Amino acid sequence: MALEQIILERDLQVVNELDEEVALTASTYLGARASHVFLLTQDNHLLLQKTGPDHRNPGRIGSSVAGFVIRGETYAEAARRRTEQELGITPVLRRIGSVRSPEPDGFKFSAVFIGSGDSARVALPGHVGSLVRLGLDEISSMLVTDSSQFTPTFPYVFALISLYFKLPQ
């Protein structure tokens, strides 16, 4: 499989393009653009992804979907592409905000989207380990008691979800 191109940014200005694999390990990592999707179920839970063995954070809970923005894509296009690839659905997605989160050698700039996800399934085994339904309050509590069970970016993107649903911080 050919590596996808991601766009690296410094202060939101494009400075270089690197292969995703290189960007994840580069010492000059300045900041990648990513899209994070949170899917809400009919019973008002978030459908989250427990990452698989091929993920860069295996066995951790993350957004319903997350993926880098590739060359020529918008954040919304990346969100739709990764949702279809990882979960086999194409829901209507609404962008609720953006956040910058620290990475080992730089920053990640993420747009956060919400949508409905009752029909989602694991469509990319290896990358997606399983799907879990968690309530918003349950997630907040888990982040306080043991944030290590989540991907490093999750607390930052979940903060936007908390604001969107007006949860106590």
DSSP state of 25: H
Task: In whole angstroms, give the CA distance from residue 48 to residue 132.
Answer: 5
The least confident of 10-24, 95-109, 114-128, 138-152 is 10-24
Question: Is residue 15 classed as helix, strand or coil in its secondary structure?
Answer: strand
CATH numeric code, 5-164: 3.90.79.10
Q: How many CB atoms lie within 10 A of CB 146?
A: 9
In this prediction, residues 100-114 reach a mean pLDDT of 84
pLDDT in tens, 120-133: 889 888 889 999 99
